[in-house]
Chain A
């Protein structure tokens, strides 16, 4: 038995969002009587941080503390329309919609404050701590809560805003075939080191080193969290997961976690990540979003590493021990490729 060390590299461009009949998301923002703001979305947070990021974006745009913002994604029947949390589109599409809605709500809040302070709204600024004051005269101020309260109880205004962000459908040019389906791309590059056991066919991931370019990392810890977890999914897809591991047909497929394989906590490899920030011109505060591309570079990088280790080119996932052994047998024994 010999362990063959291999190194594989892959890089990807990943489109943010999709182009199926247009790609819109909406947001509604309004203040409550206590001066806190509610962001209503139908964009689901399934752990990826939708609520955290839209909360930050709303607070930043409104000019109020992040603690004063609630995000409600409870119900797609009663909330404003969203295409959904997929295609790595959440931060970009929904974030932009939230900015539009928060801007509109902010302008009403500033008008209400101006009326209370008897000044011109254009002379007012927010301090981000819950106060609105006259530019250059911090003592002439009103709290955002008091301004919103006055709007509702004295002035009869709704401190609210509507926002939509739409990337319209890009049709194919009938003459040239050209289209512009995507407004921005995220990027990643990854180097994976593995060991291939030429007796058992097992592939062990030793180390991953990666660089991800995600636009502005609006919440750096959540970005890192996504990248770590997503790379695990990529590793799992490359080497373990499949719904149809056995032939001849689906009926022999896995039906529970005993048969559906995934790497456990003992199978993970050290993963060193660099996050590169190149703000997207059309992104909310420059953000694109990590999303699906967290997992993508791992698969081709692992396949390339297997080739580098034993000279077997496997083009069907997952790269199971059986496929590795059959591949090695087909070329008459392991053929390690040049090392780096």
Chain B
């Protein structure tokens, strides 16, 4: 199959890559660019662990055609920390014990970031709504909800 050039911003830096037509964004990120932070879970858009942000909006990268992000801005968990300085959400996830096996965590973090970026002080219900497309098998969700609320309370500042 013919390969198609795609250019996009990934966590603020330019990427240019040849991808097979029809390939999905998750594949291009993991195998093409080598960003392994978004995870492959169900491959059909029901588990949420592949969630990335496209122009700030949460997207299921396993269901997103790679060529649709041409010229767009993509964010993954690999871009959350700045050098050694973790994002407020990452600190809050650690402080609140919001990860056990960790497989859902990248998707949870990105779904939460999309929420906090547009709504810095969400209610509990809004947090629940924001992560309702993401499945977690270990935590029972409560610690994750608490972590997102704590990150919001910190005002999005990096702390710790």
Contact = CB atoms under 8 A, between A and B. Distances in A.
Contacts of A224: 97
A264 interface: yes
A224 B131 CA distance: 22
Contacts of B128: 265-266
A264 B101 contact: no
Interface stretch (A10-18, A156-164, A171-179, A225-233): A225-233
A232 B140 contact: yes
Contacts of A228: 139-140, 142-143
A231 B47 CA distance: 21
Interface residues of A, number: 22
A256 B42 contact: yes
B81 interface: no
Contacts of A222: 97
Interface string A195-225: 0000000000000000000000000011011
B142 A268 contact: yes
B42 A268 contact: no
A224 B127 CA distance: 22
B141 A232 contact: yes
Contact of A264 (B44, B100, B127, B132): B132
A222 B100 CA distance: 9
A221 to B, nearest CB: 6
Contact of B139 (A225, A257, A271): A225
Most chain A CB within 10 A, of B128, B129, B140, B142, is at B140
Contact of A229 (B42, B44, B135, B139): B139
A271 B138 contact: no
Contacts, number: 63
A48 interface: yes
Nearest to A259: B46
Nearest to B108: A265
B65 interface: no
Nearest to B129: A266
A230 B137 CA distance: 9
Interface residues of B, number: 25
Interface string B95-115: 001011110000000000000
A232 B136 CA distance: 10
Nearest to B141: A265
Contacts of A46: 100-101
A48 B138 CA distance: 9
B138 A229 contact: yes
B116 interface: no
B144 interface: yes
A85 to B, nearest CB: 12
Given A228-B140, A229-B139, A221 B97 contact: yes
A266 B143 contact: no
A268 B46 contact: no
Contact of B102 (A47, A230, A258, A271): A47
Interface of B: 42, 44, 46-47, 97, 99-102, 127-129, 131-132, 135-145
Interface of A: 46-48, 221-222, 224-225, 228-233, 256-258, 262, 264-266, 268, 271
